[in-house]
Structure formats: structure tokens, C-alpha cells
Amino acid sequence: MTSLRQGVEKEKIDERYSRQILFRGIGAEGQRRLVAGRIAIVGCGATGSALASLLARAGVGALRIIDRDYVELSNLQRQSLFDEKDAAESLPKAIAAARKIAAFNSEIVVEARVEDVVPGNIKVLLEGMDVIIDGTDNFETRYLVNDFAVEASLPWIYSAAVGSYGVTLNVLPGKTACLACIFPDTPRGMVETCETSGILNTAVNMVASVAATEAVKLLVGGEALGKLRKTLWSFDVWTNEQAEIAAGKPRAGCRACGERDFVHLAGEGRPHITMCGRNSVQIHERARPIDFAEMQRRLETLGVVRHNEFVLKFWREPYEMTLFPDGRAIIKGTTDTGVARSLYARYVGS
């Protein structure tokens, strides 16, 4: 019976991924490695959702999708796994992504984690993975992922897109440059964001395609074959300009991979974060369970409120608060962390 089941499963794999198996770089053995692979995608916005779709369709057997945010109408221009119903229901992006993937590939395991990656939970969120891929929107989280990956000797892929520009870097701890080798400090001065410069969905899909391909190479053994790119690669889809920076070796004296000083991993978390692309502040609470039904009763005389099993939304002009079951909140309508904290204390508790 076991051999019969295995034969049926092999036949299904061969059929679903037949065109990919024909590709010489993957083949039948490579596909088996993909099916056995485990990838964490940190952030499921524009780049992250494209990555999740590509890797799920390629047959990566287990995906852990980690995202702190929910779907909005403005996301749909570039975040390819979501639809208008997801936005209307304010579904957490990780949940919406897992549901969409299940509809086109029910053979793989997708684990949705509606959380923000911080020093206190990063080990639990990323342990057991073969590869980590960046789908975030801020360097603070990227430096944290870099610290974790370097300490754990776990490969990860940096990827970002803004305007018409995309950039990506493979990090193989101990072998290539890490993110801190290339960017010793957080970029200063005027930094483009989706809010200030907009974003083209074509730039998102290009950088996601490149990063997903590198992840596939890692899982099928591309590193041993010398196929992995060892540069920081960037491309502008509007101007057609591209550039590469050598990243084949760690930088001497690098804080992270040289001195092994993991300052971001040792941090105490981030109490307030201004979100990319919105006039919003995120409030972190340390595991403060919220009873949505009780909270709705408390708030419904003060403004408009509704909830599902994943989020509670509360509107009191000019602010909008999205509350998650663990007590975390996103307050829209301000970038002042003091105002956001005051609103949280007033309506949720201090």
C-alpha cells in the first residue's frame, strides 16, 4: 500500500511540474528537492506576494509566510495574490496569501503567521527553514533577518523594489558578503519609499522573479554548481539602467559576519514603526490577548467598528485603528508615535 501511494504521489508530481522537470537545471531530482524544501518569506506585500506565488507554483513543499499587515484596496495594483474581497474584509495578508495558494496548489504546505518579526520571536518564526527571502519594506527588519541568518548560517535573499527600481542580493553566511557588508549603516538622508515615489508592478515582478529563481537554485543545489549570483544586482525597468556590485566575499571587519556582533538580534524590539506607503504607526504589545466581541461592545458607541476572526477595525475621524488578536495595532492617520500611543491607551488600554 505504501509503495502504491508513493507511486501515485510521484505521478502527480511528474504531471504538475512536467515542464519544469524538463528544464535541465532542475530535472526530476531537482523537483524532488523543491518538494522537500522549506522557505520562509518575511513580508507578503508586493514583492513577498509575488515570491509566494512563484515558489508555490514551482512546487516548494513548505512555505512559511510571515506578515504583520492587512490587505487594502491600494495594494491590488501590485500585490498579485490578493483581490477586492480580501481588501473589503481587511484580511491579514498572510492569511489571504495562504488561501489563494491553496486554491492553485493544495499539494504544498503553507503556514500563515500574522506577526511582525522582532528580536523576541525571530528564532521561532524562522527556525527549521532552508532559505529565508526578504519581502519586507524596511531596513530595520532586514538587518534583524541578516543577524539571525548569519548567526544560524542560514542562506537568505535580500530583495526590494520602489518606483521602477528593483534590487536583490544572495547572502550565503561565511561565503559571500552579508547585508551589513554592503550597507554597514542604515541608509541616511532622503530614502525613496512607495509613498513618496510610487511603485510599478513590473519592477516588483522582475525582482521577485530573480529572487525566486535564486531560491530555487539554492534548493536544487545551484550553489554546488556555481550557478548562484554573487553580486548585488539592481535594474530599473523604466530607464533600463542596471548595475552590479561584487559581493562574492565577506567584507573584512564587517560587524555581523566578521565580528559577529549581532546588535539587531540583541535588541529589545520596536515599540513603534511607521508603516511604508501609509500615514500609519504600528503599536507593539507583548502578547496582550484581545477579545474582539468585548472590544466591539466597548467601542461601538464611540465610532464605527467591525471585526472578523483576524482583525478588528475601528474608525473615529480622523483616525482608523486595526487591532490584531495579540494586541498589536496599526493606527492610520498619523505618523506621530506619541499620538498613536495615546489613541491606543484611550481605546484599548494602557
DSSP 151-175: HHT--EEEEEEEBTEEEEEEE-TTT
Q: Does residue 239 register a pLDDT over 50?
A: yes
Task: Write down the pLDDT at residue 340.
Answer: 84
Task: Write down the pLDDT at residue 196.
Answer: 59
Task: Write down the pLDDT at residue 344.
Answer: 86
As a whole number, mean pLDDT of residues 186-204 equals 72
Task: Write down the pLDDT at residue 2.
Answer: 59
Where does 272-347 sit in CATH, by number?
Answer: 3.30.310
Q: Which of 11-15, 34-38, 76-80, 279-283 has the highest mean pLDDT?
A: 34-38
List, for residues 290-312, the tens digit of each pLDDT value: 899 999 988 988 999 999 999 99
User: What percent of the chain shows pLDDT beyond 90?
Assistant: 69
Q: Does residue 269 register a pLDDT over 50?
A: no
> Does residue 78 sit in helix, strand or coil?
coil
Give the residue with greater pLDDT, 4 vs 52. Answer: 52
Task: Write down the pLDDT at residue 281.
Answer: 86
| Contact (Cβ atoms closer than 8 angstroms) between residue 26 and residue 37 | no
Q: Does residue 240 register a pLDDT over 60?
A: yes
The top-level CATH class assigned to 36-246 is alpha beta
244 to 231, 327, 336: CA distances (angstroms):
6, 43, 38
Domain with CATH 3.30.310 in the chain: 272-347
Q: How far is CA 79 from the centre of its chain?
A: 12
> Does residue 45 sit in helix, strand or coil?
coil
**274 has which bridge partners?**
281
Task: Write down the pLDDT at residue 131.
Answer: 98
Mean of pLDDT over the chain: 89
Task: Write down the pLDDT at residue 25.
Answer: 93
Task: Give, as one character, the DSSP assignment of residue 187.
Answer: P
Domain with CATH 3.40.50.720 in the chain: 36-246
Q: Does residue 11 register a pLDDT over 80?
A: no
> Taking each helix axis from N to C terminus, what angle separates 2-16 and 27-35, rounded to the nearest 10 degrees?
110
Task: Write down the pLDDT at residue 67.
Answer: 94
Classify the C-alpha dihedral 62-66-70-73 as positive or negative.
negative
Q: Does residue 195 register a pLDDT over 90?
A: no
d(CA 178, CA 248): 10
Q: Does residue 149 register a pLDDT over 50?
A: yes
Q: Does residue 317 register a pLDDT over 50?
A: yes
d(CA 174, CA 182): 14
